[in-house]
């Protein structure tokens, strides 16, 4: 199902190379009791696959087309069709949406080098305009990591949040991890997000490469 299929819609061409389309439970990986059940499952799976491909082919908005796919295929679809996202002025929306789905100031997922490349490919003004106004000229921001990974792009300016996490991580039964802080200037922040889970900032890849990150609560 990961075959190469090009779908032309309104002069846009969706590249679905390496897209799986269907995942369990739609794709059953176990053993069937009999051939009739297996044949019925294959028929249902084929119908779902055809319906999904038809829906994608009928959509001329790359962001909406991406959202029709399983979430595990979203990043690959974006990478395959990055020029179409850029032409539709949806690249920034897609990158922010996917990045914040998989990453928080206290967890990191995916290839961080790839995330850096995607943010660098974005229009900086559109990124900034996608978030809330940045009220500070400089600030201390925070993040935590179970693995100890420091150089993520996403941090929080909310000290109360990191204090709460620090208190929780004192209890070995509630997990644990490493907490960090870094000073940042407004010009090094790509965008400021006010999400339901809290205030977050995404810093530029250039800044984080050389930022002087320190252990949370340590002396400067």
Check whether residue 130 and residue 202 sit in a common domain.
yes
**Within a domain: 138:** yes
Check whether residue 77 and residue 138 sit in a common domain.
no
Categorize the per-residue pLDDT at 218 as very low, low, confident or very high, splitting at 50, 70 and 90.
confident
- The CB density around residue 107, as the number of other CB atoms within 10 Å, is 16
- Report the half-sphere exposure of 179 (CA within 13 A, side-chain side): 19
Q: How far is CA 83 from the centre of its chain?
A: 18
- Average pLDDT, integer, range 180-203: 97
- Average pLDDT, integer, range 124-150: 96
Categorize the per-residue pLDDT at 110 as very low, low, confident or very high, splitting at 50, 70 and 90.
confident
- Average pLDDT, integer, range 175-187: 95
Residue 194 has pLDDT above 60, yes or no: yes
pLDDT of residue 220: 56
**Within a domain: 205:** yes
**Within a domain: 197:** yes
pLDDT of residue 219: 64
- Average pLDDT, integer, range 96-104: 97
How many structural domains compose the chain?
Answer: 2
**Domain housing 20:** 6-88
Check whether residue 17 and residue 83 sit in a common domain.
yes
**Residue 61 DSSP class:** -
Check whether residue 137 and residue 73 sit in a common domain.
no
Q: Token pair of 169, please?
A: 């991580």
pLDDT of residue 5: 45
**Within a domain: 147:** yes
Residue 41 has pLDDT above 80, yes or no: no
Q: 0.85 exceeded by the pTM?
A: yes
Q: 């991890």: which residue's tokens?
A: 177
Distance of alpha carbon 21 from alpha carbon 30, whole angstroms:
19
Tally of residues, the chain: 220
Check whether residue 129 and residue 83 sit in a common domain.
no
CB 142 within 8 Å of CB 181: yes
Which of 71, 88, 105 is where one domain is finished?
88
Distance of alpha carbon 97 from alpha carbon 142, whole angstroms:
21
Residue 131 has pLDDT above 90, yes or no: yes
**Within a domain: 106:** no
Categorize the per-residue pLDDT at 34 as very low, low, confident or very high, splitting at 50, 70 and 90.
confident
**Within a domain: 148:** yes
Residue 184 has pLDDT above 80, yes or no: yes
Question: Which segments within the chain are labelled E, that is strand?
Answer: 6-9, 12-15, 138-145, 154-155, 178-185, 189-195, 198-203, 214-215
């Amino acid at each position: 199902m990961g075959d190469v299929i090009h779908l032309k819609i309104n002069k846009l061409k969706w590249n679905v190379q390496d897209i799986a389309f269907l995942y369990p439970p739609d794709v059953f990986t176990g053993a069937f009791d009999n051939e009739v059940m297996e044949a019925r499952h294959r028929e249902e799976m084929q119908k779902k696959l055809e319906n999904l491909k038809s829906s994608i082919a009928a959509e001329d908005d790359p962001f909406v087309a991406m959202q029709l796919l399983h979430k595990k295929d979203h990043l690959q679809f974006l990478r395959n069709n990055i020029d179409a996202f850029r032409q539709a002025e949806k690249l920034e929306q897609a990158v922010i949406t996917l990045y914040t789905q998989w990453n928080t100031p206290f967890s990191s997922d995916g290839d961080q080098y790839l995330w850096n490349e995607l943010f660098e490919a974005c229009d900086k003004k559109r990124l900034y305009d996608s978030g809330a106004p940045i009220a500070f000229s400089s600030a201390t921001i925070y993040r935590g990591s179970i693995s100890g990974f420091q150089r993520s792009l996403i941090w929080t300016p909310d000290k109360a949040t990191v204090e709460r996490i620090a208190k929780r991580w004192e209890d070995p039964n509630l997990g644990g991890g490493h907490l960090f802080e870094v000073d940042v200037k407004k010009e090094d922040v790509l965008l400021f997000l006010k999400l339901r889970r809290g205030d977050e900032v995404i810093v530029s890849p250039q800044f984080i490469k050389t930022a002087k990150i320190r252990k949370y609560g340590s002396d400067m």
